Amino acid sequence: MFSSRMFNILVPVISVILGLIAGALIMLIFGYNPILGYQALWDGAFGNVYFFGETVRQVTPYIFTGLAVAFAFRSGLFNIGAEGQVIIGWLASVWIGTSLHAPMIIHLPITIIGAALAGALWGFLPGLLKARLGVHEVIVTIMMNYIALHVSNAMIRNVLTDGSDSTEKVAESALLSSDWLMEITGYSRLHYGILIAFLAAFIMWFLLEKTTIGYELRSVGFNRHASEYAGMSVGKNIILAMVISGAFAGLAGAMEGLGTFGYMPTNSSFTNLGFDGIAVALLGGNTAIGSVIAAFLFGVLKIGSLNMPTTAGVPGELVEIVIALIIFFVASSYIIRWVILRFKKEGK
Amino acid sequence: MAFIEALQSIIPIALFFSAPLIFTALGGVFSERSGVVNIGLEGLMVMGAFVGVVFNLTFANVFGTFTPWLSMIVACIVSALFSLVHAVASVTFRADQVVSGVAINFLALGLGVFLTKQWYGKGQTDMVSQPFYSKSIPFLSDIPFLGPIFFKGIYYTSYLAIVLAFVAWFILYHTSFGLRLRSVGEHPMAADTNGINVYLMRYVAVMISGALGGLGGSVFALTISFNFSQSTIVGQGFMSLAAVIFGKWHPLGAMGAALFFGFAQSLSVISSGIPLLADVPKVYLTIAPYVLTILALAGFIGRAEAPKSIGKPYIKGTR
């Protein structure tokens, strides 16, 4: 028999393969050469140092949002609100980054922590409502996403600037970008955030697997009633899980504000970083290491897809379809397991 | 008199904005009442808007003024078929319904924009030549006070939305089909014991939500946006979902909530023309629907109780 650990690795791998095959079929149906299409995708992600730098740049926020969604999942919560937490984190990082003046060693950490706190606050409210009143977190976080979007736009227009559609540039002392990294990657927007992302993944792993706090959080995720009976405070753990999850998502916003862009424009629609984070977490099996690997996969797909229209003539949205299908296959893991077990039986 | 003039300008616009929300929210009511969470309403609207616009552009010459109505019906059918993906995943494959809904949203947008680029060679379609036009109803619009408010410059689709809400209410609460559908969402095992096919009911409910979502999307496209692009449907589906909850999973409640959200949107559009509202920053009006939904859920505006078995896949033979 297959062990559950084996399934946990097999299901995502099979889902990705099925998703890519479906993408190839779609390309065939519309008269494109799938090999050329995927070749263009690969080149678009790894073809030269610039593309590679951009890929890693895109992976950075994905790691954070993936960790955010995964962390909440492990405590039995679905944080669809990562999107809003990203926006609020981005706003906070740019706000502190533009208004405070201090040497880098103080300014940068304060800015990053500020973004994490802002995201945490946006996660705290759904957590509190869930813990105290039993309100479902999915709906509340969806609503919080829109509140974040509209409030941040209003803040940029009315508080941070005087009616302008974009904030000023963040002060040099709060930027994560470095000339050196940009130079060696052919002037991509690669920045030091990727190191913080790896650190965050390590922290999540350590917190969940090696500490009492993590044990309680996971326990609440497995069985709320048993945890209650064992003397844990379920409410406290739900709030804590949402706060930490929100902090991770807020940091993803800081990556955009302090690294990729260095400012914040008004957004007419979502960044999609948070929504993509759901895909990252699901594919990564809600573990820290899995999220990092899945973030790389989605980063490669997203950045690589930009090269598909110019080189192979394939609309880049093909990748969106592939990602959607991968989510479907992972979500329908029941059927994949069933098929695997079926084949296993027949093989005997 | 100023008050009545304000009403005359607000109500038609509120009806105009809320029609797509009402259709989609009714779809949400059907699906959620049967126990299937439908976060994918947004994606179903995207599909409806896409199909509605493409059909309209392609067949405008053939069907003339009937085109918008036919576009609406075709969008309805295609979205119902598209929602089968959600039904298969969440009913048969026992997938997490929220995750499957998220995938529907990704898939609809991906497909829509991919095909738009494929067929039109650019990121958005052309403007439709046969959209819906607002009409004034003869005689009724001449009634003093009420005429200009309810019967002048209003889209037929708005009336259709309100009529459909009452039809949905009648189906859900006064037919055996409706009773079965609701029982499947409350206690599927008891329903199954009584000989109701739980899986079939849920499939039908999800497809109805697909049809209504598609209707909502196509009405949005043919009355408000007039074309399809990445940014045609941005959040209307989620706002409809909010209306479902704010309306306490009741068709008429959902209609009321959708009307109210449309009203809030129309206020943010025309607030500068109204003396009292001109000083209120727009952002309060834009976030009002979302804040109110959270308050409703938290029980500050009457308790909103979800159907008992919502979000749980039904597995025959388990207790």
Domain map (residue ranges) of chain A: 1-32+314-348, 52-305
Q: Identify which has the larger pLDDT, B298 or A280.
A: A280
Instruction: Using a CB–CB cutoff of 8 Å, tell me whether B294 touches chain A.
Output: yes
Please tell me which residue, A59 or A163, carries the higher pLDDT value.
A59
Say which residues have a Cβ less than 8 Å from residue B277's Cβ, sequence separation at least 6.
Answer: B267, B271, B285
pLDDT of B144 reads: 73
Q: Model confidence at A1, in pLDDT bands (50, 70, 90)?
A: very low
Residue A344 half-sphere exposure toward CB, CA atoms < 13 A: 10
Tell whether B138 is covered by a domain: no
Among residues A292, A289, A280, A287, which one has the least CA distance to residue A326?
A280
- Predicted local distance difference test score (pLDDT) of residue B302: 56
Write out pLDDT tens, residues A7-44. 788 888 999 999 999 999 999 999 999 999 999 999 99
Among A142, A147, A279, the residue with its CB nearest the CB of B291 is: A147
- Spatial distance between the Cα atoms of A210 and B126, rounded to a whole number of angstroms: 57
- Using the Cβ of B252 and the Cβ atoms of chain A, whether some distance falls under 8 Å is answered with no
pLDDT tens over chain B, length 319 residues: 567 777 777 788 888 889 999 999 999 999 999 999 998 999 999 999 999 999 999 998 888 888 999 999 999 999 999 999 999 998 998 888 888 998 999 999 999 999 999 999 888 888 888 888 887 777 777 777 777 777 777 888 999 999 999 999 999 999 999 999 999 999 999 999 999 999 999 999 999 999 999 999 999 999 988 899 988 888 889 889 888 988 889 999 999 999 988 887 777 777 666 666 666 777 888 888 788 878 877 876 655 667 888 878 888 877 6
* Mean pLDDT, residues A297-301 taken together: 94
| B149 in a structural domain | no
Distance CA B296, CA B124 (A): 37
CB A98 within 8 A of CB A170: yes
Averaged pLDDT, A94-98: 94
B40: nearest Cα among A62, A84, A324, A18: A324
Residue B231 lies in a domain: yes
Residue A215: per-residue pLDDT? 93
Measure Cα distances from B120 to A216, B21, B228 in Å.
54, 28, 11
Residue B213 belongs to domain with CATH number: 1.10.3470
Residue in the structure block whose two tokens are 């969440």? B90
Cβ atoms of B131 and B223 closer than 8 Å: yes
Nearest by Cα to B298 from A69, A144, A220 = A144
Q: Which residues contact A252 (CB under 8 A, 6 or more apart)?
A: A60, A61, A62, A64, A65, A68, A82, A85, A86, A89, A119, A273, A274, A277
Q: What is the mean pLDDT of chain A?
A: 91
Task: Determine the residue of chain B that is closest to A315 in CA distance.
Answer: B114
Alpha helix locations (H) across B121-250? 146-150, 156-174, 176-186, 188-193, 198-220, 236-246
Which structural domain range is residue B289 located in? 2-124+157-297
Could you say which of 3.20.20, 2.170.16, 1.10.10, 1.10.3470 is the CATH number of the domain covering A52-305? 1.10.3470
Percent helix, strand and coil across chain A, each to the nearest 5: 80, 0, 20
Beta carbons of B206 and B38 less than 8 angstroms apart = yes
Mean pLDDT to the nearest integer, A170-174: 87
Q: CA angle, B143 as apex, B138 and B146 as ends, to 5°?
A: 110
Q: End-to-end alpha-carbon separation of chain B, Å?
A: 64
How many Cβ atoms from other residues are within 10 Å of residue A132's Cβ?
Answer: 12
- The amino acid at residue B253 is G
- Rounded to 10 deg, the angle between the B2-33 and B176-186 helix axes is 70
Contact B242 A324 (CB under 8 A): no
Phi, psi of A265 (to 5 degrees): -85, 165
Q: Check if A242 contacts B (Cβ < 8 Å).
A: no
Looking at CA atoms only, how far is residue A335 from chain B in angstroms? 6
Q: CA nearest B231 in A: which residue? A: A269
Q: What is the 3-state secondary structure (H, E, C) of A231-294?
A: CCCHHHHHHHHHHHHHHHHHHHHHHHHHHHCCCCECCCCCCCHHHHHHHHHHHCCCCHHHHHHH
Interface of B with A in 172-201 (CB under 8 A): none
Whether residue A13 lies within 8 A of chain B, CB to CB, comes out as no
Contacts of B98 in chain A (CB under 8 A): 78, 80, 138
Domain-located, residue B245: yes
Q: Is the pLDDT of residue A283 over 50?
A: yes
Q: Does residue B91 contact residue B234 with C-beta atoms inside 8 Å?
A: no
Cβ contact A80–B103 (<8 Å): no
List the one residue out of B270, B11, B2, B9 whose CA is nearest residue B150.
B11
pLDDT, position B33: 94
Q: Do B281 and A154 touch (CB under 8 A)?
A: yes
Secondary structure of residue A265 in the 3-state scheme:
strand
**Are B39 and A146 a contacting pair at CB < 8 A?**
no
Cα A134 to Cα A118: distance, rounded to the nearest angstrom: 23
Establish if B165 belongs to a structural domain.
Answer: yes
Q: Read off the pLDDT of each residue in A71-87 and give the average, rounded to a whole number.
A: 93
The average pLDDT across A324-336 equals 86
Number of domains in chain B: 1
| CB nearest to B110's CB, from A80, A147, A317 | A317
DSSP letters, A15-52, are HHHHHHHHHHHHHHHTT--HHHHHHHHHHHHHSSHHHH
Give the distance, in angstroms, between the CA of residue B171 and the centroid of all CA atoms in the same chain. 17
Q: Tell me, yes or no, if A151 comes closer than 8 A to chain B by beta carbon.
A: yes
For residue A261, the one-letter residue type is F
In a domain, B263, yes or no: yes
Q: Which residues of A299-308 are buried (b: 16+ CB within 10 A; e: fewer)?
A: bbbbbbbbbb
Amino acid sitting at position B53: V
How close is the nearest chain A Cα to the Cα of B166, in Å?
A: 26
Determine contact: B119 vs chain A, CB below 8 A. no
- Percent residues over pLDDT 70 in chain A: 98
Using a CB-CB cut-off of 8 Å, the residues of chain A touching B238 are 142, 145-146
For A335, A343, B85, B198, the CA distances from A338, given in Å and listed in that order, are 5, 9, 19, 22
Contact state of A321 with B111 under an 8 Å Cβ cutoff: yes
- Select from A245, A196, A193, A254 the least CA-distant residue to A217: A245
